Every structure is written in structure tokens, then in C-alpha cells.
Chain A
Amino acid sequence: QKEVEQDPGPLSVPEGAIVSLNCTYSNSAFQYFMWYRQYSRKGPELLMYTYSSGNKEDGRFTAQVDKSSKYISLFIRDSQPSDSATYLCAIFSGGYNKLIFGAGTRLAVHP
């Protein structure tokens, strides 16, 4: 079993839609939960990170963590064509100094 599971998609939505991207993880030792965004032919860049359970909002993006069910989500409101990219979830354990990435979900937002 992979430590982080992420549906690779692709996910295709119309402009303005609310997008929900999700990952599950297996080890409760991980404390930091991140979302990286990767445009085609580019390196990933950190979009958001959260510590422990709860929500974190940044503009149109909301990251949500439910540690009891080991489930992390990224919501994109009012999606734009410029949001078209691959989104990778990642989990980090400071104790293990271990950073694990999901496989990434490819998102296409069409006008």
C-alpha cells in the first residue's frame, strides 16, 4: 500500500466550477500536509501547507485536513483556465524527516 494515495485524474471542469482534489494517507505520524502545483514542463511549486487538522484558506484555495480519517483535500473556487495544472499532495513527518508525494491529479479548466 502506498503511503499516500491520489487519484491521477484527469479531471476536466468548466470555468467557474468548484474543484475538489483529494488524497488519503496511511501513517498517522505525518503532521504537515501540503499541496504543490505543477504546470506542464515545469517544476512543482508549493501552493499551500497546513499543520494538523482543520482548514486553511488562501484566496480561491482552501486546504482541508481530517486526521481522524487520514484525508486531505484542496478546494478551488471559481476555477480559472490558469488553474489547469497537476496538483500533488504531499505529507511530511518532522520526526522521520520524511516527505512523501502523491502521484498528482491533472486538472483541466476549460473556458
Chain B
Amino acid sequence: DAGITQSPRHKVTETGTPVTLRCHQTENHRYMYWYRQDPGHGLRLIHYSYGVKDTDKGEVSDGYSVSRSKTEDFLLTLESATSSQTSVYFCAISEDTTNTGELFFGEGSRLTVL
């Protein structure tokens, strides 16, 4: 299994509170991604990183920010959580740009915003 650890695995929070999810990898892969998974929508890309301090937006980036200060860590922050951000969040890594679409995923972080 790829060395990807997400924390926390489960979180319940209230609307308006800040939330940070952490992804830690031990593979030294350059690319890291944050996806959210919702019924009927599959996996949708929030943000991705192609190196330390290099990040870019995905298709559903509104309300989210990311940071990558070290190769191994990629943080996803919800500055002010809303109920629409209740979802399962997956971190993924790839060795290089997805030249074939092969990503390695973490086990997910289940977030509930009340």
C-alpha cells in the first residue's frame, strides 16, 4: 500500500468553524491532490500541488485553500465550514503528472458540518 495517511479520519464540526485536513505521504511523490466524493458526483478535484509551495485549483475549489510547505504534507483548509462541504475527502498522490491517470489514494476523511 502507498504510504498515505489522512487525519483526522472522522470529524464533526459546526457551520462557520475552520477545519484543516492533513495528508501525509512517505513516498516522496511530487504530486498531491485533494478530492471530495459525494453520491452521484463521483470524485471531484478540489486542489492539487505539483511541488512545495506550488498549488493550483481544481474544479470545485471555492471555499477551500491548501498549503504545502514540505514534500510529504498537503493541508486542506475550510476557512468557514458550510453544510455543503459535508463530504468524504480523499488525498491522492502520483509520482509524476498523471501521464496515465494512476493515482494512489488515502483512506479518506469523513467530514460532517452541522
In the bound complex, CA of A43 to CA of B98 (Å): 18
**Do most interface residues of chain A lie in helix, strand or loop, or is the interface mixed?**
strand
The yes or no answer to A75 lying at the interface (CB within 8 A) is no
Task: Assess A32 versus B101: contact at CB under 8 Å? Given A42-B107, A103-B41.
Answer: yes
Decide: B107 and A92 in contact? CB cutoff 8 A. no
How many residues of B are counted as interface, with CB atoms below 8 angstroms from the partner's CB atoms?
Answer: 22
Expressed in whole angstroms, the minimum distance between the Cβ of B59 and any Cβ of chain A is 9
Decide: B100 and A101 in contact? CB cutoff 8 A. no
In the bound complex, CA of A6 to CA of B42 (Å): 9
Which chain A residue shows the least CB distance to B33? Answer: A99
Decide: A44 and B105 in contact? CB cutoff 8 A. yes
Of A34, A45, A97, A104, the residue contacting B97 (CB under 8 A) is A97
Mask, B79-114, CB within 8 Å of A = 1, is 000000000001010000111111111111000000
Interface residues of B in 13-51 (CB under 8 A from A): 39-45
Extra pairs beyond A43-B105, A88-B43 (7, CB < 8 Å) = A6-B42, A8-B40, A32-B100, A34-B101, A43-B108, A49-B100, A101-B42
